Structure 1
Amino acid sequence: MSYKKILLGLGLVMVGTVLFGQNAQTVAETMTLQKAIETAMVNNYDLKIAKNTLKQAENNNTIGNAGLLPSVSLSGGADYSKSDTENETTYIGLLESEGATSSGYNGSARIDYTLFDGFGNQYNYMKLQQTDERQKILFQQQMENTMLSVVQAFYDVCSAQQNLKLAIESMDISKERYQKALDRKAYGQTNKLEVLNAEVDMNSDSTQILYAEQNYLIAIKDLNVVLGLPVDSEFEVDEKLEFKKSFSEEQVINAAVSNNSTIQSQKKSEEITELDLRITKAAKYPTLSAYGQYAYSKTDYSNSNSIYSQSNGLTTGLSLSFNVFNGRQQRTREKNAQLNLLSEQERTRQVKAELERDASNAYTDYAYKMRIVELQERSLEQAELNFEQTKEMFKLGNATSIEFRTAQENMLNVANNFNDANFNAKIAEFNLLRITGELIK
């Protein structure tokens, strides 16, 4: 069987456990990369946390939260009193009142509204809007990071799955060689040493299967955590690879500077810092506020000259406040806010420079990994041809068991390298899509 066909095969049931006489769990379906990403978009823990943070930003983005709506308050109360009083006057003399009681109740409604505060409320609302927009970008960034984590974990499983399958195929070859050695010894065509060598190599392949199976099980658990599934979930993974369009370094850098979520988030941070400066400057202007209040109160008396008293009415007014001098605190806050803006502008330039570097490195990484894939593919063809020729020579007695084993191990190593090179190149391609902002469309 061709090892290249093995590498391009789909699926792998837990054949390692079958080999060792254990009960294999029936796998219901195959996990594709698309399905893995969709599952993570629903279940991933980091993404759920990011969704909550996004919702908080959406909740904060209201005109009321910015102070652009009036505030309305209601108040009310009731009281009761009982007392004995004495009052002596010049003309009447001593007046006494025993057990005099009174009860009263009151209520009021008040509305307050800031008419002008140097446009601080408007700037606050603009800041809430920009903060909401920035949080949406950060949420997209978390989605991109989650997708890239899924891709990494998914192809780790694919690689481990392929390596396990290759180890099992190598074991089959060693088993066939061991059986032929036994048959040849039975007919006196070889000695016991060749049988022992074949048995040692077969046992070595059994150990490699155990290592490969262990790596596969660990990779599955790592993927389950990223997907937000139970850790013990088992499934096959679809190993098919299809590389996307070609890239050029100039296109990658230009797309990254225009579309990358990191630079977009930083630009929003710069805009928010500029609004902070405007909000700070607004505090040096006077604040004009208006209010209106309706109040009602009534008190009932007993054992008194008065029966009751009552009042109600509407009160309105304006208030103006202006901070004439506060120890130059306002000036200091403005200077610091201006410095914060300058720092954010420098940080934007830094992010842009780092992004250009990262985009260039990502392109170089992808280009070299694709070249490695091509080289490993040619090496695999040569290793397969070498093994087939050595196998025929071994059957004819023109090659030793050591030469046969060397050709077998060389083919297995090259196949594993080709396997890893393919998946590494695919991960590099996804990283290019992420850095250019094309991962989520």
Structure 2
Amino acid sequence: MSINIKILIATVLIVMSINTINAQELLTKDEAIQTALENNYGVKIAKNNVEVAKNNAEILNSGYLPTVTGTAGATYNVDNTEAQFSNGTTTTLSGAESSRYNAGINLNYTLFDGFGRRYNYKILKEQYQLSELQARETIENTIVQLLTVYYNVAQLSDNLETLNQTLAVTKDRLTRAQYQFDYGQNTKLEVLNAQVDINTDSINIINTKQQIKIAKRDLKLVLGEELLQDFNVETEVDFTLQFKKDSLYQNAKKRNVALLQTEKNIAISQLDIKTGKSGYLPTLGLTGSYGWNKSNNNAASFVAVSTNTGLSGGLNLTWNLFDGGTTITRVKNAKINLQTQQLQKENILLTIKTNFENAWDDYQNKLEIYNIQETNILTAQNNFDRTQEKFKIGQVNSIEFRQAQLNLLTAELSRNQAKFSAKLAELQLLQISGELLNVPF
């Protein structure tokens, strides 16, 4: 074999090895969350909204700065003029040319507008903080959605491993049954029963593999990224909730993102009332300008060329004594909107209490079920081990052995479901309490 062929084969083997490693790449929860927050379109949109609100809350959008405008103009005339003077002399001009040029800079600044500008600026600041809370809500929902799909993949992966172990035991049983049949120690029925059970276990594995493919596609969708290579996920789960019920509920009344948004809306509504009342007060403005004018007159004028420059400034006071009731209506509506926001806050507090109680009970129940399932696994495993030993020495038939095997399989699948259901219940509880982003996953 030539050296080039050896190098080519070695290269192919290396590439295949790399592809195999990549195919088994582990996608951790932290990596999945980071990827989702970077690529998820909902999160991107929420971040853009925060940037817009931040720009709106800058001094450049506050109305505190003056406005400066520049103007310029030029006029050119060609006139036919007939001029008659007081001494009776008449002068006729045909095609007399004249031109005028002007330029100026104007300054306008509002010194006082009834504090409307001040309250509007505060509203923009509150809206910026509100947009941050809205982005946080989007992030929390994205994380919960991501981990729901992620744990679905993890549960199916655990199920697949359990089914593979079940199939391996069934294959060993078929080998033993075939061996005993060959030596006349058993009937063909035992072999056929084992083959049927192998087919059943194989079908369960095929279906689970298909479910994993679908679940992984759903996970890629939430990640917002096209992962071309296959990947595995973490199947270990840690329950990180360290809070007592009372302290967690107090956190929910302070940190729940929906409640915080309502409180921001209340603050904005209060400022809206003050902004509306500013319409009752006068507005004081400062104006200033600098101008330059030049005229090139025709022969009929006494002045051939004139140039003017100058500064001007002034104050103007505007007081809208009655605007047809627009300001009165605006203030009334702002007060009603404030009452609406306060009612929404009370409703959200009641909803939080109900959802918290339900989430807490759901988490405690599912955690207890998971612990029971863990104990049940030990019982089912012990029963299977004893049945397997008796099956090997002929004290138990294949039907009883298969039943013990199925009991263990059911216990393991139930344990897997209970584990991830309890974890998702914990996430829901943390989200309601406002602590989702403050604990490790």
Q: Report the TM-score, using the length of structure 2 for normalisation.
A: 0.90
- Contact 1:252–1:360, Cα closer than 8 Å, also in 2: no
2:413 is matched with 416
Per the alignment, residue 190 of structure 1 pairs with 186
Query: Deviation per CA, 1:283-328, whole angstroms, max 9, x where unpaired?
Result: 1111111111111111223544442122221121122222222332
Q: How do residues 168-207 of structure 1 correspond to structure 2 at under 5 angstroms?
A: 168-207=164-203
Matching residue's letter, 2:52: Q
> Match of 2:23, SS?
coil
> Secondary structure at the residue paired with 1:213?
helix
Partner of 1:60: 56
Q: Per-residue deviation at 1:412?
A: 1.0
Deviations 1:65-117 (A, max 9, x none): 12111111111122222222234456435431112112222111111111111
Q: Relative to structure 1, is the Cα distance of residues 89 and 307 closer, same or farther in structure 2, using a 3 angstrom cutoff?
A: closer
Count of matched residue pairs? 419
Q: Which residue of 2 aligns with 1:14?
A: none
Are 2:137 and 1:147 aligned? no
8 Å CA contact retained: 1:225, 1:231: no
Could you tell me which residue of structure 1 aligns to residue 280 of structure 2? 284
Identity of aligned residues (%): 37
Please give the secondary structure, in 2, of the residue aligned with 1:252: helix
TM-fit CA distance, 1:31: 1.7
Selected match of 1:267 from 260, 263, 275: 263
Which sections of structure 1, spanning at least 5 residues, go unmatched? 1-22
**Helix, strand or coil at the partner of 2:376:** helix
Equivalent positions of 1:22-421 (< 5 A) are 26-27=22-23, 29-88=25-84, 91-305=87-301, 306-421=303-418
Checking the alignment, whether the CA contact within 8 Å between 1:249 and 1:360 is kept in structure 2 is: no
Distance apart, 1:119 and its partner CA: 0.3
SS of 1:167's partner is helix
Compute the displacement of 1:131 (Å).
0.9
Q: 1:233 to 1:338 in 2, by over 3 A?
A: farther
Paired with 1:246 and 1:131, the residues of 2 have a C-alpha distance of: 34
For 1:261 and 1:99, the matched residues in 2 are separated by: 78
Q: Which has the higher helix share?
A: 2
Give the CA deviation at 1:172.
1.0
Q: Secondary structure at the match of 1:283?
A: helix
How big is the shift at 1:44? Answer: 1.9
Work out whether residues 221 and 231 of structure 1, in 8 Å CA contact, stay in contact via their aligned partners in 2.
no
**Rounded Cα–Cα distance in structure 2 between residues aligned with 1:95 and 1:87:** 5
- Bigger drift between 118-127 and 286-295 goes to 286-295
- Note the alpha carbon deviations across 1:99-157, whole angstroms, 9 max, x for none: 21122221111111111111000000111111111112222222222222222122111
Provide the rounded CA distance (Å) in 2 between the counterparts of 1:142 and 1:217. Answer: 27
**Aligned mates of 2:214, 2:262 — CA distance in 1:** 37
Comparing 30-39 and 298-307, the one that deviates more: 298-307
Consecutive unaligned residues of structure 2, counting only runs of 5 or more, are 1-18
| 2: CA distance, partners of 1:94 / 1:314 | 40
Aligned equivalents of 1:72, 1:360: Cα separation in 2: 59
Structure 2 counterpart of 1:252, one-letter code: L
Checking the alignment, whether the CA contact within 8 Å between 2:241 and 2:426 is kept in structure 1 is no
Q: Distance in 2 between matches of 1:81 and 1:126?
A: 53
After superposition, the CA RMSD in angstroms is: 1.9
Provide closer, same or farther for how the CA distance between residues 281 and 233 of structure 1 changes in structure 2, counting only shifts above 3 A.
farther
Aligned counterpart in structure 2 of residue 439 of structure 1, from 402, 427, 436: 436
Q: What is the letter of the counterpart of residue 319 of structure 1?
A: N
Distance 1:296 1:283, change over 3 A: same
**Is the 2:83–2:300 Cα contact (8 Å) retained in structure 1?**
no
Matches of 1:405 and 1:236, distance apart in 2: 31
- Mean Cα displacement is larger for which, 227-236 or 339-348? 227-236
